[in-house]
Structures are given as structure tokens and as C-alpha cells.
């Protein structure tokens, strides 16, 4: 028995139908000054040789399209923005600090600010009592 031919296609379908208007637009893009034809071909997912063939065939039409399109110009922009002043943060009103520790029948209440040394001494005393 003869081996059968098997064709494996990977990637996108390569036989696409391009309308002439699309080909002319791509050729016009490739004919622009300073443009690299291979980059235009890559951007449109076609082979550079395909684009060069289109350029030979559609050059007059593409040049006519390019001549009829006015080049883009940008208008000058002037911004008049008032400086943004961040609001001054306000601190919440001070609440009295209270710590209450209960061990067994002993309860220790500490109100207001306390330094760490005093708090450590109180906790050590409670540990001895517990």
C-alpha cells in the first residue's frame, strides 16, 4: 500500500482573501516616508514578499490615496490649572486611654498615657500576684 500524504497546518490560515481596498491601504501605509516595509507586513500578518508584490501592483492607487489624505497635525495645548492644595489633616479629638487588666480578684485600671517602664512594673507585680 502507498503511503498517503498528510499535511499539517499550524498557525493561522494562510489563504486569505484581501479586498483590493485593504491592499491599497496597506500599500499606502508601507509607502509612507520612514516606514520599514517588513514592520508593516508583520503588523498585518503577511509576508514581506506578499507586500512587495502588492506594492508593484497597487502603487499608483496607494499614492493617490496618500495624496488625498492630509497629514496629521497637532494643535498646541496650553493648560491653565490651579495648583491643588491638599487639605490639612485634622487629628481626631483625643480620647482618654484606658487599660483594664483583671487577674483573679485583682483589677488594675490605667487611665491616660503611661510610659512603658511603669506599665512593665505593674504587669510584673500582677504576674507575682497571679
pLDDT tens track for 96-105? 667 787 777 7
Read off the pLDDT of residues 32-50 as tens digits, 9 standing for 90 and up: 888 999 999 999 999 999 9
Three-class DSSP category at 29:
helix
Tell me if residue 109 falls in helix, strand or coil.
strand
Tell which phi-psi region holds residue 117, choosing left (phi > 0), alpha (psi between -120 and 50) or beta: alpha
pTM exceeding 0.75 = no
**Contact status, residue 26 vs residue 11, Cβ threshold 8 Å:** no
The C-alpha cell of 25 is what?
Answer: 491601504
Tens-place pLDDT, residues 46-95: 999 999 999 999 999 998 887 776 666 778 888 777 777 777 777 666 66
Amino acid at each position: 500500500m502507498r503511503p498517503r500524504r498528510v499535511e499539517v497546518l499550524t498557525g493561522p490560515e494562510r489563504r486569505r482573501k484581501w479586498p483590493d481596498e485593504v491592499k491599497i491601504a496597506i500599500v499606502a501605509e508601507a509607502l509612507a516616508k520612514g516606514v520599514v516595509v517588513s514592520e508593516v507586513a508583520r503588523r498585518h500578518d503577511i509576508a514581506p514578499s506578499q507586500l512587495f508584490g502588492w506594492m508593484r501592483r497597487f502603487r499608483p492607487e496607494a499614492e493617490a490615496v496618500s495624496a488625498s489624505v492630509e497629514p496629521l497635525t497637532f494643535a498646541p495645548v496650553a493648560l491653565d490649572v490651579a495648583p491643588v492644595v491638599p487639605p490639612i489633616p485634622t487629628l481626631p479629638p483625643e480620647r482618654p486611654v484606658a487599660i483594664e487588666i483583671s487577674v483573679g480578684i485583682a483589677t488594675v485600671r490605667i487611665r491616660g498615657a503611661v510610659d512603658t517602664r511603669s506599665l512593665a512594673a505593674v504587669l510584673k507585680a500582677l504576674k507575682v500576684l497571679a
